[in-house]
Amino acid sequence: MIDFRSDTVTRPTDAMKQAMTSAELGDDVYSDDPTVNAFEQRIAKMAGFEAAMVVNSGTQSNLCALLAHCARGEEYITGQGYHTYLYEAGGAAVLGSVVPQTVVEQPSGELAFDDIKAVLKDDDQHFAMSKLLSLENTHCGKIIPLSYFQQAREFANDHGLSIHLDGARIFNALTELNIELSDICQYVDSISICFSKGLGTPMGSVLCGSKELIARARRIRKMVGGGTRQAGMIAAAMDYALDNHVTRLKDDHNNAKKLASLLAQIDGLSPRPLQTNMLYVDVEPSINDELLCQLLKAEGILISPRSPLRIVTHLDISEADIVYTADAIKDCLALMQATTA
C-alpha cells in the first residue's frame, strides 16, 4: 500500500535494522546502556543542552516535560490544536494535575503574544499559576520561524515563564529554514523530538533540557512505565536516522509539492499552500470524500477521509508513487462522477 495517512507509518530500512541488531547494549534504567548514553550525549550537544533522555514516544516525552516543568496546580499555556493539549489524552491534567490553558493558533500556526498575555494569571490564590509556554514546530506542516522563537523567549522572560517545544517534526522545519537544531533550542528550555515520524525509526523520541530538568523527567518517565532496559536498539535506530534520514527530508517536501501541483489540475480539488511534508486538500462539497478514499484503497492507496484531506509524504513514498496517486485520484473522481450522472 502507498500509505499517506501519516509519516508515523514508516518502517525501518534494512540498514537501520542492521544498526539496531548490532548495537552494544546494557540496562538503561541503571544507565548502563552505552548506545543510549552515547546517543543522549550526541543529541544534547546538537541541541545545545546539557542533557537528554530517550523515551518511547513523543507523547511520553511531552508528558515528562510538562510534569518536570510544572507542579500540581500550575498551568501550561498552549495552542488549542497543539498536540500537548488536544492529541495526548489530557495526560498532564490526568496524571500530573497540571492545568492546560489554551489559545487559538494563528493561521501561520503561531500563538499571538497578545492572546497569551490575555490568559496569564496573576499570582492570586484563586488561580492556577502560569508556569510554562508550550509551543510546537512544525504545526500541521507549517514552519514556525526562528524570529518567532526569539520573540517568545523575550516574552517568556518578561512574564516569568519557561518554554517547552514540541519538536516532533523539528527536522522538517530545520530543513526548510536551513538552520541547526541549536539555533532554535537556544530560545527554549526543553525540546521533545520524535524519531518515528519523518526520520523513520520504529519507535522512540528524545527529551533535551538542563541536567536538573532531565533528572526530574527521568523520575516521571519511571512513574509512567517508560524505564526500558536494552533501549540501545532504539537509540541505535535514532542515531542512524540522524546520519541518514535528515537530509533526505527534502525529498518528502518536494514530493508533497509535486503532488499538490498535480492535484491542482483536477477539478474539484484545491490544494492549500504547503511548506513541508503535509498537504491539505479542500474537496468540493459535491464530492464524497469517504467514497473517494474507499476507491483509492482498492487501488492500493491509503488516505484518511477527513475535511480537508490530509496527505503526508515520507521515506516510504517515492516520486513514482506521487504520479500514480495523482492519476488514481483523477480516475476515481471520474468514476464517481460517471456513477452519479
Question: What pLDDT score was predicted for residue 35?
Answer: 98
In a domain, 188, yes or no: yes
* Residues 48 and 164 both lie in one domain: yes
Pick the last residue of a domain from 244, 266, 291.
244
Tell me 279's DSSP state: E
In a domain, 6, yes or no: no
In a domain, 160, yes or no: yes
* Residues 179 and 261 both lie in one domain: no
In a domain, 147, yes or no: yes
Q: Where are the beta strands (DSSP E) in 22-154?
A: 51-55, 74-79, 99-103, 129-136
In a domain, 3, yes or no: no
* Residues 203 and 266 both lie in one domain: no
Pick the last residue of a domain from 244, 268, 293.
244
Chunked mean pLDDT (size 10), the chain, 341 residues: 97 98 97 98 98 98 98 97 96 97 98 98 93 98 98 98 98 98 98 98 98 98 96 98 98 98 97 97 94 97 94 98 98 90 63
* Residues 25 and 105 both lie in one domain: yes
Q: Mapping DSSP to helix (H, G, I), strand (E, B) and coil, where does residue 110 land?
A: coil
CATH, residue 255: 3.90.1150.10
* Residues 207 and 314 both lie in one domain: no
Question: What pLDDT score was predicted for residue 307?
Answer: 86
Contact between 247 and 86 under an 8 Å Cβ cutoff? The reply is: no
* Residues 256 and 237 both lie in one domain: no
* Residues 73 and 211 both lie in one domain: yes
Cell 520504529 belongs to which residue?
Answer: 202
Pairwise CA distance, residues 211 & 319, whole Å: 43
* Residues 156 and 41 both lie in one domain: yes
Contact between 5 and 312 under an 8 Å Cβ cutoff? The reply is: yes
Look up the domain containing 105 and give its range. Answer: 12-244
Pick the last residue of a domain from 244, 261, 281.
244
* Residues 269 and 185 both lie in one domain: no
In a domain, 83, yes or no: yes
In a domain, 1, yes or no: no
Question: What pLDDT score was predicted for residue 10?
Answer: 97
| Number of helical (H) and strand (E) elements in the chain, helices listed first | 14, 12
**C-alpha triplet 105, 106, 107: angle, nearest 5°:** 115
Predicted TM-score of the model (pTM): 0.96
* Residues 24 and 138 both lie in one domain: yes
Question: What pLDDT score was predicted for residue 306?
Answer: 86
Question: What pLDDT score was predicted for residue 341?
Answer: 63
Pairwise CA distance, residues 319 & 258, whole Å: 8
Q: How many Å separate Cα 231 from the centre of its chain? A: 21
Report the domain count for the chain.
2
* Residues 176 and 230 both lie in one domain: yes
Segments in 80-230 forming alpha helices (H): 83-86, 91-96, 113-119, 146-158, 170-177, 181-185, 211-223
CATH, residue 53: 3.40.640.10
* Residues 42 and 76 both lie in one domain: yes
Question: What pLDDT score was predicted for residue 340?
Answer: 77
In a domain, 267, yes or no: yes
Contact between 78 and 192 under an 8 Å Cβ cutoff? The reply is: no
